Amino acid sequence: MRKQLLVLAALAISGTFLTGCANVERKFGRGMSNTLEIVRLGEWRRSMEQTALWQTPDSGYTTGFIRGLNRSLARTGIGVYELVTAPIPPYEPVATDYLSPAPVYPDAYKPGMLEDTLFATDTNLGFSGGDIHPLIPGSRFRIFDTH
């Protein structure tokens, strides 16, 4: 019994070193992003926008809502699946014919980084979130910039 346990542990360790961690990290991160889709609701907003643009504005509120809800729930389910099976191959995204592997947003919204001390590298110098010369076109002082 003890010998079998040692062989099983050796196989597990060698399997871990042979497969590497990058694929597991990528699959786990994709699973986390997809699982949080139910909070982010990007598929829902994009489906409503695209249905209103390509069909009629009225169908964006009805058909687009239901389509977006279905896609959000599907993405959340795929995220849970990828979280649970992160250490197990295959590491490629699943259901790519129905959903894109990357999170989607409406075309009218492009996310950016928040203006925060976590991402600002010049907070120790005494200024952050602003520009050096505000008279240059496109240069303005930004606080909590979300786009």
What would the pLDDT profile of 83-103 be if each residue is shown by its tens digit?
Answer: 999 888 888 888 888 888 888
The vertex-37 CA angle with 31 and 40, nearest 5°, equals 140
- The candidate with the shortest Cα–Cα distance to 20, out of 78, 82, 89, 101, is 89
Mean pLDDT by runs of 10 across the 147 residues of the chain is 80 67 86 91 91 90 93 94 88 87 82 64 56 55 52
Looking at residue 75, its pLDDT comes to 94
The fraction of the chain above a pLDDT of 90, given in percent, is 29
CA dihedral for 84, 89, 92, 97, sign (positive or negative) = negative
Helix (H/G/I), strand (E/B), else coil: 132: coil
Q: What pTM did the predictor assign?
A: 0.65
